[in-house]
Amino acid sequence: MVRLSRVLLKDAGNVIDKTLSEILVCPLSKQPLRFCEKTKSLVSDTIGVSFPMKGGIPCLVPKDGKILEEESEASKKNIK
């Protein structure tokens, strides 16, 4: 029974925990994060970085973040 629930948890791991979604912000900019369904990652729109989620656990270490190139170009244009 325990093993079954662990497997189920792993599959459901792509949905972010409710507690976490209320509390988490981007580690660099402290702005709210957006959960992107396509890439299963948390995106920080203000600085254009996406943080991966491994096994249902968000990895918000700055080094793990990936820069989203196209979106940053668009946002730069908007600022100007």
Binding site for another protein (CB under 8 A): 2, 5-6, 9, 17, 19-20, 22-32, 46-49, 54-55, 57-65, 67, 75-76, 79
Contact at 8 Å (CB) between 32 and 47? no
Minimum Å distance from CB 37 to another protein?
20
Minimum Å distance from CB 45 to another protein?
10
CA distance 54 to 52: 6
Minimum Å distance from CB 70 to another protein?
15
Tokens 């918000």 locate to 60
> What are the phi and psi torsion angles at 52 (to 5°)?
-75, 165
